[in-house]
Amino acid sequence: MLDVPSTDALAALPALRRELLAAGNPFSAGFWESAESLLRRIAEGAATVGEVHGWLEATGTEPTAITRMYVWDVESARTPLGRELHDLLVTHLEGSLSAGDIDPERLLADDPAARQEYLSLQERWMTSPLPDGRVPMHELLDELDEEDEEDDDFLAEWEAAEQAAADELRDVLAGVGERPRPDPELRAACRGLRAALRSGARSAELLRASSGVNPDNLDTDDGRLWLQLAAGVVNPVYEPSDDTATDEIPGIALDHEDWLAAVAALARGGPATRASATELARFIEDADDDDDIRVLAEWFVPVVEQWRVLGALDEHDRLTPLGWWGLPEALLQAWPGNTQG
């Protein structure tokens, strides 16, 4: 019933009920009433995920999503071990139901005692040895510990890469020499940015989503505000809103070396350096053929658009004095692994 459109399932309910009655497996009146009610709420868009899962649990054969000790992933996200043990638990629940150890009518009525009994039955199974000696809970928690260790290792490698890229960028900037902050241009840019952010202008929506700023509580310091917005282009801190496509967020695809190559080239070139998406792609050392450049250029398109809104590029996509000063500083700020500030 949940695998087809809810309106189709509703239409099929009477015939399905008659067929099950004829087969000697009629189900209760309460089940059919709850099924119709839930399907109508799904059709109206009013049903929640928790409500649907609670209805499934009331069959007595669906594991509770959250136990005291473990949270089952959704089916599509389960590991092979998670799928195996979840299936074994379902088999155990089916056997318990057949043996009369589970009363689905009480579960359907949301009887607190019945729900606690149902949860306790599952927890006893998860903490008891299987025929092969494995204890499901121990196996699942050990797998979580291994995943946490892998995440920690990846994070350490990522932060080390950030630090190395930041150090290399500092070396480049030392060779470039002084890049003065153009305060008049910074003030003018921030005046326009504040107005765009507060009005909800589409041109500033991606900057707002990527940087996580609150339009109603913007930093009053021009330098800090500009760098926060520019750093969000490199390292988005918030998920985009529903009307902001994920593939518009450049930080998802470009890595440290890509950002370093592009910004270092702009720093060396100085104001008026051409910085179209294609030009930025050509700065990447690994972009050694037209296909590579075309793919990278696509990822740099939203970067160029946001840099233009920031005033880092002019209307001809050339680096401005503000961009010459600010883009390298924003890049350093965007890398949390950069401990030297």
Tell me the average confidence (pLDDT) per consecutive run of 10 residues in the chain, 341 residues long.
90 92 85 91 86 88 82 85 94 94 90 90 92 91 77 70 89 95 97 94 88 92 96 76 45 79 95 95 78 87 94 96 97 70 40
Please indicate, yes or no, whether residues 181 and 117 belong to a single structural domain of this protein.
Answer: no
In a domain, 1, yes or no: no
Instruction: Say yes or no: 11 and 136 in one domain.
Output: yes
80 lies in the same domain as 179: no
Please indicate, yes or no, if residue 153 is contained in any of the structural domains.
Answer: no
Q: What is the pLDDT of residue 146?
A: 77
Residue 315 and residue 200 share a domain: yes
Residue 24: per-residue pLDDT: 87
Structural domain containing residue 122 = 6-142
- The answer to the question of residue 48 being in a domain is yes
Q: What is the number of structural domains in the chain? A: 2
Shared-domain flag, residues 129 and 261? no
Is the domain of 12 the same as that of 129? yes
For residue 245, the model assigns a pLDDT of 43
**Quick check: is 93 in a domain?**
yes
**What's the confidence (pLDDT) of residue 151?**
64
Look at phi and psi of residue 50 and say left if phi exceeds 0, alpha if psi is from -120 to 50, else beta: alpha
Main-chain dihedrals φ then ψ at residue 127, nearest 5 degrees: -105, 10
The pLDDT value recorded for residue 201 is 87
Alpha-carbon distances of 181 from 210, 331, 332, rounded to whole Å? 24, 15, 16
Largest Cα–Cα separation, the chain: 87
- Confidence (pTM): 0.56
Do 309 and 228 sit in the same domain of this protein? yes
Question: Do 106 and 245 share a domain, yes or no?
Answer: no
Give yes or no: residues 210 and 324 share one domain.
yes
Same domain, residue pair 171 and 285? yes
